[in-house]
């Protein structure tokens, strides 16, 4: 138990309401294990959409197993839901969701640790029942109050409210966290996490003030000592980013946020011309990540990149972030108590 224990930490069985959310199409086994080991909840990400989905599932499973070897704490898997124009769920989603459920079923140790499945992008529909029946806690990431209500009605256990400032896939509604999160927390009763723009204890305290029960970070955790997924140039591009250096472009499932560079400029131009090469988008993201070509590859990152100035050690960062949030709340409550008697006297 920590000072910040709440419904969410109890549901998921973690110490601090701090989550590292999915960072596909990259792997994140080591980052996820570090966040879980530090008392938060780490997440294994979806490894892209290869033509051979069995191969993709083998890759995903190996990342899950790697994470389980590095920590004995609970962790999650993020699987974006791909849907085509008529709302039909795409084969990669079906393969990955069923594959994860089977992997857990066949391994009792994994079943104990891989306890959370986070869906994002499209609506998980029929998979909600399947995820629940398998005994997993189901989190779903949404960009509007309408989607939050629909998720709760479908039996989702935790809603992640995604603001437009976030890195990677951003909500089509273009709602920012400060408006969206309280709209959602006053509309549904399951726990809500804020995702987008959080980077320290002040962000966590603010999220709690908005009615959320935790935060889900992306960009902040990339720039860490535990990172093994992203090339050092990628981390440097985030460290060098200033306000206004990010831009939203059309990603794989809708709007996507990354840093301004040759790749994002050329994608925006292709978008206007209508000749975007969809497969090239994922290759471009992977190019920036693996070769460090942060000019010709898409560098997914949130607006918060402008506020990231140091490489963190996750093992220290997570408890410090929780301590800072508790201190901020305590300090605000303390200053309020000091002012109240004065106001009464006046
Ligand atoms: C490099 C990168 C890749 C991402 N990939 C995914 C993904 O595969 N699935 C998903 O639901 N969200 C994805 N996101 C969004 C994150 O899970 C998280 O919600 C977001 O980063 C939060 O905003 P922040 O970057 O301001 O912390 C990605 C974000 C980044 C920066």
Q: Are 48 and 287 in contact (CB under 8 A)?
A: no
Q: Is the pLDDT of residue 16 over 90?
A: yes
Q: For ligand 1, pick from 21, 246, 285 the residue to mutate: most ligand atoms within 8 Å of CB.
A: 21
What pLDDT was estimated at residue 181?
A: 98
Q: For ligand 1, pick from 22, 44, 164, 168 the residue to mutate: most ligand atoms within 8 Å of CB.
A: 168
Whether residues 185 and 277 share a domain: the answer is no
What pLDDT was estimated at residue 341?
A: 63
Whether residues 193 and 76 share a domain: the answer is yes
- Provide the b/e sequence for 143-176 (b: ≥16 CB within 10 Å): bbbebbebbbebebbbbbbbbbbbbbbbbebebb
Whether residues 195 and 146 share a domain: the answer is yes
- Angle separating helix axes 29-37 and 53-70, nearest 10 degrees: 30
Phi, psi of 327, deg, nearest 5: -65, -40
Last residue of a domain, one of 283, 303, 323: 303
Q: Are 282 and 50 in contact (CB under 8 A)?
A: no
Phi, psi of 336, deg, nearest 5: -65, -45
Percent of the chain with pLDDT over 70: 98
Q: Is the pLDDT of residue 344 over 80?
A: no
The arithmetic mean of pLDDT across residues 45-52, rounded, is 88
Residue range 157-173, pLDDT digits in tens: 999 999 999 999 999 99
Residue range 105-149, pLDDT digits in tens: 999 999 999 999 999 999 999 999 999 999 999 999 999 999 999
Q: DSSP class of residue 169?
A: E
Q: Is the pLDDT of residue 31 over 90?
A: yes
For 310, counting Cβ atoms within 10 Å of its Cβ (0-12 exposed, 13-18 middle, 19+ buried), the class is exposed
Mean pLDDT of the chain: 95
Whether residues 216 and 238 share a domain: the answer is no
Q: For ligand 1, pick from 167, 256, 290 the residue to mutate: most ligand atoms within 8 Å of CB.
A: 167
Whether residues 126 and 259 share a domain: the answer is no
Is residue 201 in some structural domain?
Answer: yes
> From the alpha carbon of 121, which atom of ligand 1 is closest?
11
Three-class SS of residue 31?
Answer: helix
Whether residues 242 and 94 share a domain: the answer is no
Element at 183 (helix H, strand E): helix 177-185
With a Cβ cut-off of 6 Å, ligand 1 is lined by 21-24, 45-46, 78, 80, 120, 141, 162, 166-169, 195-198, 216-220, 300-302, 304
Last residue of a domain, one of 224, 256, 271: 224
Distance 230 CA to ligand 1 centre (A): 14
Is residue 322 in some structural domain?
Answer: no
What pLDDT was estimated at residue 346?
A: 44
Q: Is the pLDDT of residue 275 over 60?
A: yes
Q: How many domains does the chain have?
A: 2
Is residue 94 in some structural domain?
Answer: yes
What number of CA atoms fall less than 13 Å from residue 172's CA on the CB side? 10
Whether residues 57 and 169 share a domain: the answer is yes
Q: Is the pLDDT of residue 94 over 90?
A: yes
Q: For ligand 1, pick from 18, 20, 23 the residue to mutate: most ligand atoms within 8 Å of CB.
A: 23
**pLDDT confidence band for 282 (50 / 70 / 90):** confident
- Going across the sheet that includes 168-169, the strands are 168-169, 255-259, 246-250
Three-class SS of residue 314?
Answer: helix
**pLDDT confidence band for 26 (50 / 70 / 90):** confident
Is residue 20 in some structural domain?
Answer: yes
Nearest alpha carbon to residue 288 among 225, 243, 222: 222
Q: Tell me which residue has tokens 């909840």.
A: 41
Hey, whose CA ends up nearest to atom 18 of ligand 1?
A: 218
CATH number of the structural domain spanning residue 122:
3.20.20.70
Of the two residues 146 and 83, the one the predictor is more confident about is 146
| Dihedral angle computed from the Cα positions of residues 160, 238, 303 and 147, in that order, rounded to the nearest 10 degrees | -20
Distance CA 317, CA 313 (A): 6
Cα 245 from chain centroid? 21
Distance 333 CA to ligand 1 centre (A): 33
Lowest mean per-residue pLDDT among 15-19, 88-92, 214-218, 258-262: 88-92
Last residue of a domain, one of 170, 205, 224: 224
> From the alpha carbon of 22, which atom of ligand 1 is closest?
17
What pLDDT was estimated at residue 44?
A: 98
Distance 169 CA to ligand 1 centre (A): 6
Distance 332 CA to ligand 1 centre (A): 31
What pLDDT was estimated at residue 301?
A: 98
Residue span of the structural domain in which 183 resides: 7-224
Residue range 298-342, pLDDT digits in tens: 999 999 999 999 999 999 999 999 999 999 999 999 988 777 666
Whether residues 71 and 175 share a domain: the answer is yes
What pLDDT was estimated at residue 217?
A: 98
Whether residues 220 and 238 share a domain: the answer is no
Please name the residues in contact with 262: beta carbons below 8 A apart, sequence gap of 6 or more: 295, 296
Is residue 330 in some structural domain?
Answer: no
Whether residues 239 and 216 share a domain: the answer is no
Distance CA 262, CA 251 (A): 16
Whether residues 124 and 205 share a domain: the answer is yes
Lowest mean per-residue pLDDT among 111-115, 182-186, 272-276: 272-276
């Amino acid at each position: 138990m920590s000072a910040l224990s709440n419904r969410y930490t109890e549901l998921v069985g973690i110490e601090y309401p701090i989550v590292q959310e999915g960072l596909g199409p990259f792997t994140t086994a080591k980052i996820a294990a570090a966040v879980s080991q530090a008392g938060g909840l780490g997440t294994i990400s979806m490894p892209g959409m290869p033509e051979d989905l069995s191969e993709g599932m083998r890759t995903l499973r190996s990342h899950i197993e790697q994470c389980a070897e590095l920590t004995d704490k609970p962790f999650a898997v993020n699987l974006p839901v791909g849907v085509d124009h008529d709302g039909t769920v795409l084969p990669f989603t079906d393969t990955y969701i069923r594959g994860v459920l089977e992997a857990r079923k066949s391994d009792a140790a994994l079943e104990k640790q891989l306890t959370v499945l986070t869906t994002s992008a499209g609506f998980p529909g029929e998979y909600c029942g399947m995820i629940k029946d398998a005994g997993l806690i189901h989190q779903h990431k949404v960009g509007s109050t309408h989607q939050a209500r629909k998720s709760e009605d479908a039996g989702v256990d935790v809603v992640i409210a995604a603001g437009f400032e976030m890195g990677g896939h951003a909500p089509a509604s273009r709602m920012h966290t400060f408006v969206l999160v309280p709209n959602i927390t006053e509309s549904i009763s399951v726990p809500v996490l804020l995702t987008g723009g959080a980077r320290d204890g002040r962000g966590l305290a603010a999220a709690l003030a908005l009615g959320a029960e935790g935060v889900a970070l992306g960009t902040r955790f990339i720039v860490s000592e535990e990172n093994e997924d992203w090339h050092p140039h990628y981390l440097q591009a985030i460290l060098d980013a200033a306000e206004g250096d990010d831009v939203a472009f059309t990603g794989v499932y809708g709007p996507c946020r990354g840093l301004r560079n040759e790749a994002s400029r050329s994608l925006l131009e292709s978008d206007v011309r209508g000749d975007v090469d969809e497969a090239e988008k994922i290759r471009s993201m992977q190019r920036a990540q693996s070769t460090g070509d942060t000019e010709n590859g898409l560098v997914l990152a949130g607006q918060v990149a402008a506020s990231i100035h140091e490489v963190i050690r996750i093992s220290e960062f997570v408890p410090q972030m929780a301590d800072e949030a508790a201190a901020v709340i305590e300090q605000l409550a303390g200053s309020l108590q000091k002012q109240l008697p004065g106001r009464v006297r006046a």
